[in-house]
Amino acid sequence: MKPLIAGNWKMHGAPDWYDYPSRFNALLPENDRKALDILMCPPALFIESLVRKSSELNIHVGAQNCHAETSGAHTGEISTEMLKSVGARFVIVGHSERRADGEMDADILAKALAAIRGGITPIVCVGETLLERESGHANNVVTAQLVASLGGVDLTTGPEIVVAYEPVWAIGTGMTATPDDIVAMHARIRAYVGPKIRILYGGSVKPNNAKEILKAPNVNGALIGGASLDMDSFAAIAKAAL
């Protein structure tokens, strides 16, 4: 399975963001990374320009959210068809920062189905909070999220769907799950999604921990926040996947 190294820029875009693809390419030229899929997910406003900067470099561009419907009276929203029309290939759905803002599993399922319908690959995020982990409920929480946010999705299609396991307490904190916890949770997710779906790990993935995380069984790539905004770090993480 080709590892997917995905950067989630969140609501960031340093003035030099349009240089990121060429800077990344200089650090890890295309020929050296044929075995990887590289993805940058900028704020929606930048998607179209970033696609222009990155398509020749074989870097994919994705969105951080979408709406479940094709069009309609939904102020401020963007459909998967619109994202596809400007060149987005992936869309993150159910990120914990959006779940914290009230997004529910049913919304996430609708968005994942909309992405598939619109011809872009959803990256469906799951993960437990610290309280849920400390009270011994991590497995149940993640399983319930998988069932509710992927129910009805055809998991036999392989590359058209990606799942990201992101323990909420590891996001942006510098804390990561232990290798044993990652192996155990990814095995659980694998048992649910079957053999064809890529499962990413996310939560404070950095150059210094990437190799250990990425070599774990059933870890098919990483979803990277903070470190994806620094091309030296992002490229170092991608190298660790080779």
User: Does residue 167 touch ligand PGA according to CB under 6 A?
Assistant: no
Q: Which is nearer to ligand PGA, 81 or 241 (CB)?
A: 241
Active-site residue 137, yes or no?
A: no
DSSP 174-195: S----HHHHHHHHHHHHHHH-T
Q: Which is nearer to ligand PGA, 25 or 204 (CB)?
A: 204
Whole-number CA gyration radius for the chain: 17
User: Does residue 62 touch ligand PGA according to CB under 6 A?
Assistant: no
Q: Compute how many other C-beta atoms are within 10 angstroms of the C-beta atom of residue 203.
A: 26
Report the alpha-carbon distance of residue 166 to residue 125 in Å, rounded.
7
**Nearest approach, Cβ of 99 to ligand PGA (angstroms)?**
11
User: Does residue 42 touch ligand PGA according to CB under 6 A?
Assistant: no
Report the alpha-carbon distance of residue 198 to residue 201 in Å, rounded.
10
The encoded tokens of residue 170 equal 């590891």
Q: Which is nearer to ligand PGA, 82 or 205 (CB)?
A: 205
**Nearest approach, Cβ of 171 to ligand PGA (angstroms)?**
4
Report the alpha-carbon distance of residue 39 to residue 55 in Å, rounded.
11
Q: Which residue minimizes CB distance to ligand PGA? A: 225
SS3 220: coil
User: Does residue 202 touch ligand PGA according to CB under 6 A?
Assistant: yes
Backbone angles phi, psi at 200, to 5 degrees: -95, 150
Burial class of residue 170, CB neighbours in 10 A (0-12, 13-18, 19+): buried
Report the alpha-carbon distance of residue 28 to residue 11 in Å, rounded.
25
Binding ligand PGA (rule: CB under 6 A), the pick from 50, 51, 126, 205 is 205
Active-site residue 160, yes or no?
A: no
Q: Which stretch binds ligand PGA (CB under 6 A): 26-34, 133-141, 177-185, 196-204?
A: 196-204
Binding ligand PGA (rule: CB under 6 A), the pick from 171, 197, 210, 231 is 171
CA neighbor of 80 nearest in space, from 43, 39, 119, 51: 119
String of contacts with ligand PGA for each residue 209-238, x by CB under 6 A:
--------------xxxxx-----------
Total binding residues for ligand PGA by CB under 6 A?
13
User: Does residue 8 touch ligand PGA according to CB under 6 A?
Assistant: yes
Q: Which is nearer to ligand PGA, 81 or 229 (CB)?
A: 229
| Binding positions for ligand PGA, rule: CB under 6 A | 8, 166, 171-172, 202-205, 223-227
Catalytic site positions: 95, 166
